Chains A and B, each alone.
Chain A
Amino acid sequence: MLTKEQLLEPLARLRGNAAIVTTMGVARPWGKYSSSELDFASADSAMGHAADLALGIALAQPWRKVICLNGDGSMLMTLGTLATIIGSGAANLILFVVQNGTYEITGNQPVPAAGKLDFCQLALGAGFSRVYGFEAAAEFEKTLPELLSGDGPVFAAVLIEPGSEGPISRSEREESFYLKESLAEWAHRMRRALAADDCRGSTR
């Protein structure tokens, strides 16, 4: 089982110019490792739709990697998205399911079928051809460069320790850069950043 730090720190180091979509229990911690305008917290927004939003970005900018750090509770809310991703043909989406087995934001109540459900099998069944499962930090860090390279879509389930993050407030009180503005303000800022980064052409 990984800590959030063991998941997020290597990812922040190796992301390059990927767009990152976080949600729920990792939305606030991600801000400790990144202050990029290419980050989006799908939190305090639409429940369970982080992977859908990430898919949209991936389809809009197919030359850019888009990494979604989804929760297991969030993934269960929209399992059909696995089929939508495959049907869309997006090859640049990397979908992590950060699997702590609980609804962390509301106090760690167990998600349905916690400990029994195999997310990797679900992804394989939906048609993902590159599927990874991680239970240890060393294995994760060793495999991450390979995981982030090549064509996808890629699915990775990562077992992490339950945490104690509370709800996101989106205000100046939040330490994370991308949580200080309203959802609309940040969305418009990120859109400009994605366009500017696109114009630089560094990722094609």
Chain B
Amino acid sequence: MIQARSVLQELKKQHISHIIGLPDNSSAGFFQLASRDEDVKSIFVTREGEAFAIAAGLWLGGKRPVILIQNTGLLESGDGLRGTALRMRVPLVCLITYRGYHKRGHDRVTPPFEARVLDRADLDSAALVTEPTLQAWGVPYYLLHDEGGLAVIPEAFSRAGRCSQPVAVLITDSLG
């Protein structure tokens, strides 16, 4: 488990203004913590695609938002991400909890997949397509496995700013 407090501290070192997202089982504890924080505002959306457009608007207005959603929500967000943050070239860090990381079958199946692979009980269909989707959309990403890897967060911010585009951090363990 990755401490939610450690992640929030790393984000605050980057002077973030808002956390936009929708809690899942892995991030619920983080949102509970963040929503009590006086320095960072939390915005809860009804569907993840909203988050990218809201973040783009916040950035237009001079703020520094981050997004926190599950990988299933990332898949739902396709047009919102493409049409706002990507095309507007918004330097935006997206934290994505990686449902099914240990059931992505990377040692057994490789893209392009046949559709029937997505129905296999030993694999998680969301996990299977998460990284290929980010690659297809041109979104660089880092993997955050444990507290020892928190340095990927400042790296992601640096890259997002340098390249003026969204960068993802895939979180493979629960935030507690």
Contact assessment for B62 and A80 in the assembled complex, using a CB-CB cutoff below 8 Å: no
Contact assessment for B82 and A52 in the assembled complex, using a CB-CB cutoff below 8 Å: no
State how many angstroms separate the Cβ of B174 from the closest Cβ of chain A: 25
A194 and B62 in contact (CB under 8 A), knowing A46-B84, A187-B56? yes
Cβ contacts A179-192/B at 8 Å (1 or 0 each): 00001100110110
Q: Give A191's nearest chain B residue, CB to CB.
A: B60
Contact assessment for B58 and A81 in the assembled complex, using a CB-CB cutoff below 8 Å: no
A56 and B80 in contact (CB under 8 A), knowing A81-B46, A84-B45, A84-B50? no
State how many angstroms separate the Cβ of B84 from the closest Cβ of chain A: 5
Contact assessment for B83 and A59 in the assembled complex, using a CB-CB cutoff below 8 Å: no
Cβ contacts A57-99/B at 8 Å (1 or 0 each): 1111100000000000000001011011001100000000000
Q: What is the interface of chain A mostly: helix, strand, loop, or mixed?
A: helix
A53 and B62 in contact (CB under 8 A), knowing A46-B82, A183-B87, A187-B89? no
State how many angstroms separate the Cβ of B20 from the closest Cβ of chain A: 8
Complex CA distance for A135 and B89, rounded to whole angstroms: 39
A59 and B58 in contact (CB under 8 A), knowing A49-B50, A49-B53? yes
User: A46's contact among B43, B60, B65, B80, by CB below 8 Å, is which?
Assistant: B80
State how many angstroms separate the Cβ of A27 from the closest Cβ of chain B: 14
Contact assessment for A87 and B79 in the assembled complex, using a CB-CB cutoff below 8 Å: no
Q: Give B64's nearest chain A residue, CB to CB.
A: A60
User: B residues bordering A, Cβ < 8 Å?
Assistant: 17-18, 41, 43-47, 49-50, 52-63, 65, 79-84, 87-90
User: A residues bordering B, Cβ < 8 Å?
Assistant: 40, 42, 45-47, 49-50, 52-61, 78, 80-81, 83-84, 87-88, 183-184, 187-188, 190-191, 194-195, 198
Given contacts A53-B60, A190-B60, list 8 more A-B pairs with CB under 8 A.
A49-B79, A49-B83, A53-B84, A56-B55, A59-B63, A61-B62, A78-B47, A198-B62
